[in-house]
A = this chain, B = another copy of it.
Amino acid sequence: MQVRNTKQKQVVTKVIQEAECPLTVHEVLARGQKMLPSLSLATVYREIGRLTEAHELQTVAIPGDPPRYEAHSHHHHHFKCTGCDKVYEIEGCPKELKSLVPKGFKPVTHDLTFYGLCKACN
């Protein structure tokens, strides 16, 4: 079973790589359709599913929001503006974090999300 290189895949990948912030499925669809108007929602879901399984995408889940997706690059965290609802990337990660985990537990990874006002809304 071989993987084919289709326009749809190129478009979805491109949209996510060029995004300045994590995108929802519908945002990916909207941006993708500017390049390829026939792009369908089902295809976006399928492609995002593939990319996520291949660990080329990361899911950013924020309570109350639909999931967002971003290119899997280096380890980082997020800031969600409660004013304009945009999600920003935050660099850095304190080493001490792991010390919060109780003895006997084995932490593998973690998510950290800040909420508040971004530069523009503040």
Judge whether A33 is part of the interface by a CB distance below 8 angstroms: no
CB distance from A69 to the nearest CB of B (A): 10
Residues of B contacting A108 in the complex (Cβ-Cβ under 8 angstroms): 82, 115-117
Q: Is the CB of B97 within 8 A of A94?
A: yes
Judge whether A18 is part of the interface by a CB distance below 8 angstroms: no
Which of B79, B96, B100 lies in contact with A90, CB distance below 8 A? Answer: B100
Known A-B contacts A63-B61, A67-B63; A118 and B100 likewise in contact (beta carbons under 8 Å):
no
Bound form: Cα–Cα A92–B102 in Å = 11
Q: Is the CB of B93 within 8 A of A94?
A: no
Which of A88, A106, A109 has the largest number of chain B CB atoms within 10 A?
A106
Known A-B contacts A63-B67, A97-B94, A111-B111; A102 and B119 likewise in contact (beta carbons under 8 Å):
yes
Residues of B contacting A101 in the complex (Cβ-Cβ under 8 angstroms): 79, 90, 114, 116
Q: Is the CB of B92 within 8 A of A100?
A: yes
Residues of B contacting A61 in the complex (Cβ-Cβ under 8 angstroms): 61-64
Known A-B contacts A59-B63, A63-B61, A108-B82; A102 and B115 likewise in contact (beta carbons under 8 Å):
no
